[in-house]
Amino acid sequence: SLFLKIQRSEVYIVVLYPKYTDSPWCLEELEEILQFMKLHGRRVIPVFYAVDPSEFENQKLPSSTAGRIRRWRAALSEVANLSGFDSQVIRYVKSKPVPVN
């Protein structure tokens, strides 16, 4: 299962995009990933694709229990404050020629 693969991973690259919060599944995965980061010292690298990290602070979330929504908000806030990459920066770096020695 996907959660077993999450448990076995050492590094997580989380791609956050404008409709990321529409998916309860994505939010559950994010919560699990951040739990492994805290408990086991795993690395989380967020990539913000066509979205600013600050947009996740007050994003509308799918209907769920109050406790789950509270956990999802905490996870989104936490990942938004991690050092990560902006997709615009990655696209710019990718377009630059790299000299080969």
CATH number of the structural domain spanning residue 79: 3.40.50.10140
Positive or negative CA dihedral for 62, 67, 68, 71? positive
Q: Tell me, yes or no, if the pTM score tops 0.85.
A: no
For the record, the structure tokens of 93 come out as 């770096």
- Residue 99's pLDDT is 58
Q: Does residue 100 form part of some domain? A: no
Q: Mean pLDDT, consecutive 10-residue segments, the chain of 101 residues?
A: 85 91 93 94 91 82 87 92 72 56 56
Per-residue confidence (pLDDT) for residue 2, from 0 to 100: 78
Q: Which residues pair with 13 in a beta bridge?
A: 45
In this prediction, residue 98 carries a pLDDT of 55
The residue type found at 29 is: E
Q: Annotated catalytic residue: which of 10, 28, 29, 31?
A: 29
Q: Please say if 29 is a catalytic residue.
A: yes
Predicted pLDDT at 53: 86
* pLDDT for position 91: 54
Instruction: Please state the domain count of the chain.
Output: 1
Alpha helices in the chain (DSSP H): 2-8, 24-40, 66-80, 87-95
- Range of 79's domain? 2-95
